[in-house]
Amino acid sequence: MEEFVTFAETLLPMATIEIKNMEFRAFHGCYKEEGIIGNNFSVDLTLCANTEAAELSDNLADTVNYQIAYNIVSREMGVTSQLIEHVASRIVTAVLEDLPTVDEVTVRVVKRNPPMGGRIESVSVALSKKRAFTNR
């Protein structure tokens, strides 16, 4: 007798992990003064991963380690760039390289009070990337 697999049985459980409002003082910007004075930034990171093993085991080794994710963001925020698009791209790439359990990542880099000649609360760039395929 032939056994059939339902559509639901082919789906992997996917969790969304959010690390919000990480704050940094950094020196990103196109203007000379930004490289000297710096600016305040915040970063939101959203990670999608299959956490089914961790849900059952209650073991950190079976999920995304938030501390490692934070360390990646902190490291990349410490590398000066002219554009926050470049910073966001480095963060996304590093997350996918360093955290193999993450299948998709979105980062939002927010520059507070940008020096644009007027009162502006912030400018931000959001960037998402996902793995082309997974072996899970």
Q: Which residues are catalytic?
A: 111
**116 and 127 Cβ atoms separated by less than 8 Å:** no
Residue 51: how many other CB atoms lie within 10 Å: 18
- Between CA 68 and CA 27 the distance in angstroms is 23
Identify the three-state secondary structure at position 47.
strand
Helices (H) and strands (E) in the chain, counts: 4, 4
